[in-house]
Amino acid sequence: MPTPVIELDQVTFAWPRRPVLLDIDHFTLQPRERVFLKGPSGTGKTTLLGLVGGVELPASGQVRLLGQDLAAMSGSRRDRFRADHSGYIFQMFNLLPYLSVQENVTLPCHFSALRMQRACERHGDLQAAARHLLAHLGLDRSDLLRQPVTELSIGQQQRVAAARALIGSPELVIADEPTSALDADIREAFLELLFAECEAAGSSLLFVSHDAALESLFDRSLSLRELNRAAVREEQS
Amino acid sequence: MYLLRLALRSLFNRRFTAILTVLAIALSVTLLLGVEKVRTEARASFAGTISGTDLIVGPRTGSVQLLLYSVFRIGNASSNMHWSSFEKIAAHPRVSWAIPISLGDSHRGFKVMGTTGDYFTHYRHGRDRQLMFDEGEAFDDLYDTVIGADIARELNYRLGSELILAHGTGAVSFVEHADKPFRVSGILAPTGTPVDRTIHVSLEGLEALHVDWRQGMPARGAAQVSAEQARQLDLTPSSITAVLLGLDSRVATFAVQRDINRFPDEPLMAILPGVALQELWSLLGVAEKALFIVSLFVVLTGLVGMLTAILASLNERRREMAILRSVGARPRHIFTLLLLEAFGLALTGVLLGLGLMYLALWLAQPLILSQYGLFIPITPPGLWEWTLLGAILLAALIMGGVPAWRAYRQSLIDGLSIRT
């Protein structure tokens, strides 16, 4: 049995002087698995992503990334670990407006030597890696690469963000409602591209959204409401 | 290195506020360096106005005042000393040369100084530099005059030009010595001292102008003495304004000074030019310090402006910070990024300010020279200037620590979630 990419075990989390916000018995994400995590706002979605990213630490239980307990690492080690092994796609405005498309894509490699190395091994050099990913995501027009990122459409911006999350083949890609700003017709096209690239990079995908229509496209679907015992308790009370 | 590039790109993205911030810092740096430059150069220029003169003698007054009117032609003498006193002092065994000077008249705003030909041989400025003639020579005839370089340039006088002196030292005079015009016999080379703005005539010439004056008024009618008639008269002055003394040895200075201070015939004083200059500096020192402190505060204002601009941008840049965190930037990267930003702004401001200062100096140099007789050379910044600039950059770094720390805290709290 391969090591799960994410493994949460008996995890609870609460903000200081607040009731328990997150109480998860067990959750795993296997290598190359694509999991849809359904979660309306208020179910602790942001906090869960913070725990998986190692930005927050659980009050009890263990959060393991690639088999390593995040709480056992120092703060900067956790930051490095996250940079090396995970890529993020946010809801919208994912890009730094003062960098070009290509520079936005290569950004993580400047903070992670491991991803820089992987990107160069796979594609020769960093720029080639960026161009390869962008081309696969349908952004290979040279004029597009030179455009300020603020002039791209939202769909194009999200594809650039996906390329950035995937460069250097991290084991985990976390997407936080990346399609909610997209029109329905391009939503699925974006997902297909994202799946294909995750597959090519060998990355697992943790996809968080409240849009249940996309659920069927994933290997597995989970509801945070069911997963999080604290949310269940709150509803009952 | 990559962080520096990011910081610069981010700044360029906010270039309007960045340019304003840089400009505020640059202008304040220009002011600070300008004030320092003028201060040090004015000091050097003042100090270089007189050298080689061991003592200045005049009627009893303040030593700074005596120095100011006898050497810098600033202000007026309140009383004169007798010619007989001068003769006695000149005869002192330790005195090797004595130059009498007499002030009180002017020509189109330039002061007229009556003296002897010795002035051109013994007066020294800068580092023991003698007065040189650009054209002509020292006065020979009673109505000859030697003019400074600025006067020749500004009033366009040549050798042989005639000029009419006016009574009193105001820029505009209502009483002119029109009956006795003077002729330019020599033009001095520029010295960068008040000599450039002085009209030198012989003591006898000056006496001739006033020979027919009674109670400060020109004579009328038959009592008038014409220029030619004056030549026949004894033109030894009855009084002079001050005396410049050279001694046979520096060691004698205090002894001669004591003798003059105890002069039996009339109350006189002798001052050491260097000591009086020091006294002048201690007087001006307060104003200088005030000016320096004001310009320091202007620099501080510029830096506070930078701090405000960066702090104000922080809130709208929380997304930027979260994105950077998500791609692997650690909180200390965020801290460094903000610090680099402050340093970049300050460095650009300092360099621009330095450039602006030299540009302003280059533009104002001829103006300051002609208006104030002050030559400010364009020289590279000295150790003191570099120290000041370094201190400004250090202050910017320390102040940049404030937004950097805030962004650091914010990025720890925000983590990967985007809050705007």
Q: What is the pLDDT of residues A201-212, one digit of tens each?
A: 889 999 988 888
Decide if B113 contacts B200 (C-beta within 8 A).
yes
Half-sphere exposure of A152 (CA within 13 A, CB side): 29
Residue contact A84–B416, C-beta within 8 A: no
- Cα–Cα distances in angstroms (integers) from residue B367 to residues B14, B229, B326, B378, in the given order: 39, 44, 59, 14
Q: What are the C-alpha distances in Å from A32 to residues A7, A68, A169, A175, B119?
A: 14, 18, 12, 15, 100
Which residues are CB-neighbours of B33 under 8 A, at least 6 positions away? B353, B354, B357, B381, B385, B388, B389
A157: in domain = yes
Is the pLDDT at B419 greater than 70? The verdict is no
3-class SS of residue A170 = coil
In chain B, % helix, strand, coil (3-state, to 5) comes to 55, 15, 30
Judging contacts by C-beta atoms under 8 Å, the chain B residues touching residue A50 are 415-417
- Number of domains, chain A: 1
Binned at pLDDT 50, 70 and 90, residue A94 comes out as confident
**Residue A92: inside a domain:** yes
Give chain A's end-to-end CA distance (angstroms, integer): 40
For B328, the closest of A96, A99, A112 (CB atoms) is A112
For residue B106, the cross-strand partners are B111, B166
- Calculate the CA B129 to chain-centre distance: 19
Give CB contacts under 8 A, 24+ apart, made by A67-71.
A67/A3, A67/A4, A67/A7
Q: B9 vs A98: CB contact, 8 Å cut-off?
A: yes
Say how far residue B272 (Cα) sits from the centre of its chain: 21
- The pLDDT score that the predictor gives to residue B347 is 94
Q: How confident is the model at residue A80 (pLDDT cuts 50, 70, 90)?
A: confident
Write the burial class of residue B187 (CB in 10 Å: 0-12 exposed, 13-18 middle, 19+ buried): buried
pLDDT of residue A147: 78
The overall longest dimension of chain B from CA atoms, in Å, is: 105
Which A residues 108-137 touch B at CB under 8 Å? 108, 110-112, 115
* B332–A76 C-beta distance less than 8 A: yes
pLDDT value of residue B256: 92
In a domain, A89, yes or no: yes
Q: How many helices (H) and strands (E) does chain A have?
A: 10, 9
Q: Min CA distance, B149 vs chain A (Å)?
A: 59
Indicate whether B83 pLDDT > 70. yes
Six token digits for residue B109? 């705003």
- Whether A82 and chain B come into contact, CB under 8 Å, resolves to yes
Given CA atoms A125, A130, A132, A133 in this order, what sign does their dihedral have?
Answer: positive
From the list B191, B109, B199, B200, the residue with the least C-alpha distance to B369 is B191
pLDDT digits (tens, 9 = 90+) for B290-343: 888 998 898 899 889 888 888 888 877 888 888 888 888 888 888 999 999 999
| Beta-strand pair B129-130/B124-125 | antiparallel
Question: Does residue A147 sit within a domain?
Answer: yes
Contact at CB, A111 and B327, closer than 8 angstroms: yes
* Strand, coil or helix: B360: helix
* pLDDT band (50, 70, 90) for residue B116: very high
Whether residue A29 lies inside any domain: the answer is yes
Residue B181 has pLDDT above 80, yes or no: yes
Residue A1 located in a structural domain: no
| Banded pLDDT at B173 (limits 50, 70, 90) | low
Q: Which two tokens stand for residue B67?
A: 């120095």
Provide ipTM, 2 decimals.
Answer: 0.84
Q: A32 or A228: whose pLDDT is higher?
A: A32
Rounded mean pLDDT of B350-358?
94
Q: Answer whether residue A41 shows pLDDT above 80.
A: no
Contact A110 B331 (CB under 8 A): no
| Closest residue, chain A, to B12 (C-alpha) | A98
Residue A64 pLDDT level (bands cut at 50, 70, 90)? very high
A108 with B328: Cβ contact below 8 A: yes
For residue A94, give the CATH number of its domain: 3.40.50.300
The predicted structure's pLDDT at residue B370: 66
Q: Give dist(CA A75, CA A54) in Å, integer.
A: 8
What are the distances in angstroms from CA B338 to CA A181, B299, B408? 31, 20, 9
CA dihedral over A144, A149, A153, A154, signed as positive or negative: positive
Q: Are strands B95-107 and B242-247 parallel, antiparallel or unpaired?
A: antiparallel
Beta strands in B22-168 (DSSP E): 55-59, 81-82, 95-107, 110-115, 124-125, 129-130, 133-136, 144-147, 162-163, 166-167
Contacts of A40 (CB under 8 A, 6+ apart): A210, A225
Higher pLDDT, B262 or A236: B262
Q: Rounded to whole angstroms, how far apart are CA atoms A163 and B116? A: 91
State pLDDT tens for residues B194-248: 888 899 999 999 888 888 777 667 777 767 778 788 888 888 898 999 999 999 8
Locate B140 and state its tokens: 């020979």
Residue A175 lies in a domain: yes
Residues 6 or more apart whose Cβ sits within 8 Å of residue B292: B35, B36, B39
Q: How far is CA B27 from CA A15, B121, B155, B347, in A?
A: 48, 46, 36, 13
pLDDT exceeds 80 at position B415: no
Residue A214 lies in domain: 6-236
Measured between CB atoms, does A48 come within 8 Å of chain B? no
Q: Please report which confidence band the pLDDT of residue B172 belongs to, taking 50, 70 and 90 as the band edges.
A: low
The mean pLDDT value for B85-102 works out to: 93
Half-sphere exposure of B70 (CA within 13 A, CB side): 36
Do B416 and A50 count as a contact with CB atoms less than 8 A apart?
A: yes
Q: Is residue A226 part of a domain?
A: yes
Mean pLDDT, chain B, whole residue set: 87
Q: Which of A79, A109, A172 to mutate to test the interface with B (most CBs of B within 10 A)?
A: A79
Which residue in chain B is spatially nearest to A54 when comparing CA positions? B415
* Binary contact (B416, A56; C-beta < 8 A): no
Give per-residue pLDDT as tens, A96-128: 888 888 889 999 999 999 999 998 988 888 888
* Cβ contact, residue pair B328, A82, below 8 Å: yes
**pTM, full prediction:** 0.75
